[in-house]
Structure 1
Amino acid sequence: MGFLAVALLVALTPGANNLLALRHAMVRGFGASMVGVCGRLVAFAVLVVAVVAGLGPLLSASEWALTAIRWAGVVYLAYLGSTILWASFRRRGEPEGTAAEASAPERPPLAALVRKEFLVAITNPKAVLVFTAFVPQFVVHGHGSVTGQLAVLGAFYLVAEAAAAGVFAAAGSVIRAVRLSYRAHRRMDRATGGVLLGMAGLLAAESA
């Protein structure tokens, strides 16, 4: 339970995936956002399997692998941020009014939400370090199989990640319920795109 509490605090840290959960809930609602979160959980499950299989320490110790993952994350975050910003500026001429205020400007398919969450998670070098450096610290040697403990801890972290994503998705659904105008949606999309580009820049600076 101590690990779960700490994992929840780590998972609640604002990041690209949680920002996506927030935005997806604003655009398509809480349920659709949580479907998208499944992509994130699949990516993290892959990392858990790698750690359980003994590949985690090799991955975290490989400067080349972490650099490749980091730059893949930079490229994808920059792509997402620029795409969201471009779409927001393209919508400048759309009419205002009660009909426009009733829904978000775009309704991307569920598969796109899942894909975005997965790609952001799997190309996040900090996620790699969470599973290769943070989680193993809670293994108690002499109390059963290390592999089994890693699998259980990884499963608990996935639960914590899902709960944290639910918090951000709930916040997004509340914003959605306010029925913002297109102008407000554009402003929020521009802020989201700007934050994602900023994250890409910070990640690139770490790679320099």
Structure 2
Amino acid sequence: MTLQQLIIFLPAALLLGASPGANNLLAFISATKAGWLSTAKSILGRLAAWAVLVVLVSLGLDVLLRTSEMAFVALKWVGVGYLLFLAFQFWTADVSNEIKAPDVSTLMRREFLTLMGNPKAYLLLTAFLPQFVNDTAPLVPQLFLLGALYLIAEGIAALLWVSAGSLVGAHALTPLRRQVINRASAGLMGTAALLLARTERTAQP
């Protein structure tokens, strides 16, 4: 990767990482309940999932998802089901008592599973990273390097969403406000599930 490519890659990766996808919405929602520090730690779950995806994409799983309708649909509906499950949890959460924030391990697991069940994440890597590959150099080491740089950008962008959520949560202490946030969170997760359900695979030419 040349310096010119790096200058283009990093801002583009940051913008992609900051887009309002399912994981960023989840980070925002989690931060309203668990605060900045716990939610920031949970981002490690998402980054671990991205690291797994980089390896899988480098090994060619993206080809399977782009060419196999069954594989793509199966992964997509697993992701939709998990997002709907989260939406149900938020909607039915008890707000009558003092809020009990999820522990860090639960938040990390949510981040990890939400990303792993989203086929758009796989396709994003295969559509974005190869644009910055040098044809004269070995492919796999470049993908790993680009993937590592993308993880850094993703982590920075995620922390912006965590910061925004923690600011909102700091003023959401009453049961009524907690209920409003929970219902809004359920709506956001439901919307993310709907958008994922409408995702179509891109066939391999």
> 2:3 matched to which residue of 1?
none
One-letter amino acid matched to 2:112 = F
Q: Does 1:174 align with 2:151?
A: no
Of 35, 45, 59, which residue of structure 2 is paired with 1:39? 45
> 1:128 matched to which residue of 2?
122
1:27: how far off?
1.1
Percent same amino acid at aligned positions? 42
- Quote the RMSD (CA, aligned, Å): 1.7
Task: Give the TM-score normalised by the residue count of structure 2.
Answer: 0.88
Q: Equivalent residues in 2 for 1:22-101 (5 A)?
A: 22-87=28-93, 90-91=94-95, 94=96
1:25-58 CA-partner distances (Å, limit 9, x unpaired): 1111111111111111111111100122233333
Q: Decide whether the 8 Å contact of 1:60 with 1:132 is kept in 2.
A: no
User: How far apart, in 2, do the equivalents of 1:199 and 1:51 lie?
Assistant: 23
Q: Decide whether the 8 Å contact of 1:25 with 1:172 is kept in 2.
A: yes
Task: Give the TM-score normalised by the residue count of structure 1.
Answer: 0.87
Of 11, 15, 27, which residue of structure 1 is paired with 2:17? 11
Q: Decide whether the 8 Å contact of 2:129 with 2:143 is kept in 1.
A: yes
Q: Decide whether the 8 Å contact of 2:64 with 2:71 is kept in 1.
A: no
1:112: how far off?
0.7
The answer for unaligned runs of 5 or more in structure 1 is none
Q: Decide whether the 8 Å contact of 2:72 with 2:119 is kept in 1.
A: yes
Give the 4+ runs in structure 1 shifted more than 4 A. Answer: none
SS in 2 for 1:156: helix
User: How far apart, in 2, do the equivalents of 1:58 and 1:179 lie?
Assistant: 45
